[in-house]
Amino acid sequence: MSDVKIRLLTLQDWRLYKSIRLTSLEDSPDSFGSTYEHEAALSDAEWLARLDLEFRGLEALPLVAELAGHAVGLAWGVIHEPASKTAHIYQMWVSPTQRGKGIANSLLSEITAWAFHKGCERIALAVTASNEAAVRMYHSSGYLPTGSLEELRSGSALMVQPMVKRLDNTK
């Protein structure tokens, strides 16, 4: 993990973002509500727009983990409404060859610190219930199941478990 660098994805990184996001969807189709087919059809302008947070008026932390200049991990923190006390995590993925080295834990820590700094009181996400590695990861990071299972996507047999981690930001 020591050689892995985590940094913010900026507008200039849209090609890198497109590449790692499509790779993640292809590698882990059961982990995400979206699909490779859907996102592979997006135009370059749409990929660029996703990272144009100012234009979108979106409070977000799109992170990439890099090893020797290669993207090996991705995660987004998002606060949907300006005054919201809830941050969300999306698109969490680590390259299969780099798993088990703490990269996802580091991405989670960055998002937690960012959400705390933004005054959030909780972080929410949804994880495929049968995805043992991810469920364990969120559990060991302090996320607890909340609410009932939901379909991963319309008509899918896979179910996702909403989870929430409380942040000590209420004082």
Ligand X SMILES: CC(C)(COP(=O)(O)OP(=O)(O)OC[C@H]1O[C@@H](n2cnc3c(N)ncnc32)[C@H](O)[C@@H]1OP(=O)(O)O)[C@@H](O)C(=O)NCCC(=O)NCCS
Q: Which residues bind ligand X (CB under 6 A)?
A: 28, 31, 92-94, 99-105, 127, 131-134, 136-137, 140
CB of 60 to ligand X, least distance (A): 17
Q: Which residue lies nearer to ligand X by CB, 8 or 129?
A: 129
Comparison of 9 and 92: residue with beta carbon closer to ligand X:
92
Give the separation between CA 160 and CA 149, rounded to whole angstroms.
5
Q: For the chain, how long is the longest CA-to-CA vector?
A: 46
Q: Which is nearer to ligand X, 102 or 119 (CB)?
A: 102
Question: Can you tell me whether residue 148 is helix, strand or coil?
Answer: coil
CB of 136 to ligand X, least distance (A): 4
Question: Closest residue (Cβ) to ligand X?
Answer: 137
DSSP per-residue letters across 1-58: -TTEEEEE--GGGHHHHHHHHHHHHHH-GGG-SS-HHHHHTS-HHHHHHHT-HHHHT-
Closest CB 131 distance from ligand X, rounded Å: 5
Closer to ligand X by CB, 80 or 136: give it.
Answer: 136
Considering the complex, what minimum distance in angstroms separates the CB of residue 134 from ligand X?
4
Residue 100 CA to residue 94 CA, distance in Å, equals 9
